[in-house]
């Protein structure tokens, strides 16, 4: 029986990482459709795409709970013609109760071949975070706290992140730190509102070709944040006719989710997910909704929606993976 070495290697690395990280997780915005949104938390991803990607995402969490999280993200990934470098741009607005945090960053990546079939991309991003807290919103348990006399806090903090993204035709692994500067960037006043720490993200996925136009992809996302439980997401998605996607996601001790997507055309993808809380919070809300819309610029509707000829590696040039794709 012929051994699928890339599949064995992938499973080994995932198990190893899960064991190493298995004790601890999350502060950056949370996504259920993370496999279609990698560029938002890993700058090394931005140069791995073949065509320029634009994505918009909206997440409404814990419906019916006042002040529950609301996340809005716009991102763009731009590969360079040399097929080695890429740039990305992100704007993310994350609201929770009286606090709104807006992240803006620019990412750069450079990738190298580590074998005929595998590429490794290095990425960095830099930008800033605007934290706005309006104490006139909501009712506070201790209204006499001195910090509430400020009425509003509006401050800017720099952010610097980095990531690694290793991938081949049918699998990928990524490791990223969204921001190295979290320790000590908040002054004493704001630190009483936000306790910020460095977060580590690990992502992995594998694409199994079930037939000419059907695929199956399991994926995992781990978020590690010191002092918090490890945030573990396991997902399984099926794609049929290179157009319809359906799947499920399980967030350990938190929620179970259903996912669906439709490739409207070769250049447009629309995805939706619904989360149902499996913890005690599920008694007080009607779940969470998340929608994502992606555009692949420069990819006309006349071509095949499968892999392109650029997938066939040329000597001395990195191999690119066609979009739209499963990651």
User: What per-residue confidence (pLDDT) applies to 185?
Assistant: 44
- Low-confidence residues of the chain, pLDDT below 70? 1-28, 135-151, 182-196, 300-327
User: What per-residue confidence (pLDDT) applies to 99?
Assistant: 86
How much of the chain, in percent, has pLDDT values that exceed 90?
48
H or E segment at 188?
A: helix 188-191
* Gap between the Cα atoms of 76 and 297, Å rounded: 10
User: What per-residue confidence (pLDDT) applies to 161?
Assistant: 94
User: What per-residue confidence (pLDDT) applies to 255?
Assistant: 92
Q: Where are the domains of the chain?
A: 5-311
Beta strands in 208-309 (DSSP E): 208-211, 214-225, 231-240, 244-251, 255-265, 268-277, 288-297
Residues in the chain: 327
* Gap between the Cα atoms of 325 and 98, Å rounded: 38
Take residue 214 and report the two structure tokens written for it: 């059907």
User: What per-residue confidence (pLDDT) applies to 28?
Assistant: 65
Q: Is the dihedral of CA 45, 256, 306, 292 positive or negative?
A: negative
* Gap between the Cα atoms of 263 and 234, Å rounded: 23
Take residue 201 and report the two structure tokens written for it: 């993200």
pLDDT in tens, 68-88: 889 999 999 999 998 899 999
User: What per-residue confidence (pLDDT) applies to 280?
Assistant: 81
User: What per-residue confidence (pLDDT) applies to 248?
Assistant: 97
Tally of CB atoms within 10 A around 118: 16
* Gap between the Cα atoms of 298 and 52, Å rounded: 7
User: What per-residue confidence (pLDDT) applies to 275?
Assistant: 95
- What is 5-311's CATH topology? Porin (2.40.160)
pLDDT in tens, 130-159: 988 876 665 655 555 555 555 678 888 899
* Gap between the Cα atoms of 49 and 245, Å rounded: 20
H or E segment at 11?
A: helix 5-20
User: What per-residue confidence (pLDDT) applies to 86?
Assistant: 95
Tally of CB atoms within 10 A around 308: 16
H or E segment at 58?
A: strand 52-60
């Amino acid at each position: 029986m012929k051994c699928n070495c890339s599949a064995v290697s992938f499973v080994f690395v995932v198990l190893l990482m899960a064991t190493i990280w298995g004790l601890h997780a999350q502060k950056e915005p949370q996504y259920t459709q993370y496999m279609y949104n990698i560029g938002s938390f890993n700058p090394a991803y931005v140069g791995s795409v073949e065509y320029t990607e634009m994505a918009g995402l909206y997440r409404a969490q814990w419906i019916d709970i006042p002040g529950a999280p609301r996340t809005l993200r716009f991102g763009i990934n731009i590969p360079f013609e040399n097929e080695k470098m890429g740039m990305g741009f992100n704007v993310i607005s994350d609201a929770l109760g009286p606090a709104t945090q807006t992240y803006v960053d620019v990412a750069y990546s450079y990738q190298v071949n580590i074998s005929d079939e595998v590429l490794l991309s290095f990425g960095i991003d830099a930008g800033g975070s605007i934290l706005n807290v309006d104490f006139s919103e909501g009712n506070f348990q201790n209204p006499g706290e001195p910090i509430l006399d400020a009425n509003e806090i509006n401050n800017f903090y720099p952010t610097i992140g980095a990531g690694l993204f290793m991938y081949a035709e049918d699998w990928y692994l990524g490791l990223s730190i969204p921001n190295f500067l979290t320790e000590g960037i908040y002054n004493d006043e704001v630190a009483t509102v936000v306790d910020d720490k460095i977060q580590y993200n690990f992502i992995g996925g594998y694409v199994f070709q079930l037939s000419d136009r059907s695929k199956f992809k399991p994926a995992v996302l781990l978020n590690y944040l010191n002092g918090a439980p490890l945030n573990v997401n396991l997902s399984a998605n099926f794609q049929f006719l290179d157009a319809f996607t359906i799947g499920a996601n399980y967030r350990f001790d938190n929620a179970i989710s259903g996912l669906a997507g439709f490739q409207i055309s070769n250049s447009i993808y629309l995805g939706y997910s619904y989360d149902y809380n499996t913890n005690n919070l599920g008694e007080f809300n009607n779940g969470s909704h998340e929608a994502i819309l992606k555009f692949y610029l420069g990819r006309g509707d006349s071509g095949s929606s499968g892999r392109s000829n650029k997938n066939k590696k040329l000597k001395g040039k990195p191999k690119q993976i066609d979009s739209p794709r499963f990651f």
